Amino acid sequence: MPRYSIDEISHPWSKRIRPYPPGKPIEEVERELGRTAIKLASNENPLGPSPKALEAIRNALDRIHRYPDGAGFYLRRRLAELHELDMDQVI
């Protein structure tokens, strides 16, 4: 079976893709400016996660080593309740 390099089998346009240049970490910006700053770019929340999100994370820590329910039973059930649907109507 012949072996090919990634360059041989890649579409030509994919070779022109350039990596995304990430923004500077807020700590680096603050060092450069010599003052505190609030980063509003990169889809980051300067306020941090909500208390409800932190609580949900803490509550899930004892199950984090397991795969989640792929069928999303509890999510589907809650969505059905919210929208007054039967569970089988929620995909």
| pLDDT digits (tens), the chain, 91 positions | 778 888 888 899 998 999 988 888 889 999 999 999 988 877 778 888 999 999 999 999 999 999 989 999 999 999 999 999 999 999 9
Q: Residue 26 belongs to what domain range?
A: 6-89
- Please give the pLDDT value at position 4: 84
Residue 1 lies in a domain: no
Count structural domains, the chain: 1
- Please give the pLDDT value at position 78: 97
- Please give the pLDDT value at position 60: 92
- Please give the pLDDT value at position 7: 83
Whole-model pTM over 0.85: no
Taken in order 47, 53, 58, 62, the sign of the CA dihedral is negative
Q: Where does the chain show beta strands of DSSP type E? A: none
Residue 56 lies in a domain: yes
Residue 33 lies in a domain: yes
- Please give the pLDDT value at position 27: 93
CB contact at 8 A, 87 and 76:
yes
How far is residue 28's CA from residue 32's CA, in Å, rounded to a whole number? 6
